[in-house]
Amino acid sequence: MSLRALLHLALLSTLVLLSACASAPPPTKSAQTNFQDGETAYASGHYEDAITQWKKVKESYSSPELTTQAELKIADAQFKNKAYIESAAGYEDFRKLHPTHEKGAFVLYRIALSHYYQITGIDTEQTPVKNAVTSMESFLNRYPDSEYSAEVRQKLADCRIKQLEYENYVGNFYLRTGKYPSAIKRLNEALLKFPGSPKLDQTLFYLGKAYLKSGAPVQGKRIFQRLSTEFPASPLNRDAASL
């Protein structure tokens, strides 16, 4: 074989080798490496990247312990990323899969917060408030002495005020639209359901007004007297007196 042919053959062999190297898949990272990459991304505030890495850990099925850690880390990253619908679902799934996990209190606490931070206003969908109340009551029943209990109690009290504000909102709507029996029923139920709430002065004012508008002045006066007795500093007493 001539020198030229040999050189040509050598060049072809080199090209084949280079092509094979270029098409070879990159080496696969280990689950532990993916987990650490997720930790690094999370610490830097790159929560979506962290979630991507931890999902790879889950999908690798490398070890039950590492998979469990990744499941919780994903929910943590979603929470930190303010994706509260996703974090609530992630923590709920974790709780179902690992009901006796050592971080059970933390997980239920985060479920409650995930619902709490979805709350917007009294004139919008109230499901997040209901879910937050349910989760917080469950938390306090199970973990009354937890390090998170004080915060949960404070947020639960806030949620109950929000629930009463919604009842007042609906009761006032019935009042403004002339549906006085509906207003009276709704507001009386609110009085029973939320005793001691600081927003009950509004409930009493709307209820007294509804009784007056419905042609029941005796009941209306009785409610306004209760408003004056229980909330002497409420500015609504002036409006009640004018009525």
Per-residue pLDDT of the chain (243 residues; tens, 9 = 90+): 554 544 444 445 544 444 544 444 555 678 899 999 999 999 999 999 999 999 999 988 888 999 999 999 999 999 999 999 999 999 999 999 999 999 999 999 999 999 999 999 888 889 999 999 999 999 999 999 999 999 999 999 999 999 999 999 999 999 999 999 999 999 999 999 999 999 999 999 999 999 999 999 999 999 999 999 999 999 999 999 998
CA 89 from chain center: how many Å?
9
At 103 the pLDDT is 96
At 62 the pLDDT is 80
Cα(first)–Cα(last) distance of the chain, in Å?
A: 116
Structural domains of the chain, with CATH: 164-243 (1.25.40.10)
Number of CB atoms found within 10 A of residue 218's CB = 9
At 13 the pLDDT is 52
Q: What is the pTM of this model?
A: 0.83
At 7 the pLDDT is 45
SS (H, E, C) the chain: CCHHHHHHHHHHHHHHHHHHHHHCCCCCCCHHHHHHHHHHHHHCCCHHHHHHHHHHHHHHCCCHHHHHHHHHHHHHHHHHCCCHHHHHHHHHHHHHHCCCCCCHHHHHHHHHHHHHCCCCCCCCCCHHHHHHHHHHHHHHHHCCCCCCHHHHHHHHHHHHHHHHHHHHHHHHHHHHCCCHHHHHHHHHHHHHHCCCCCCHHHHHHHHHHHHHHCCCHHHHHHHHHHHHHHCCCCCHHHHHHHC
At 75 the pLDDT is 98
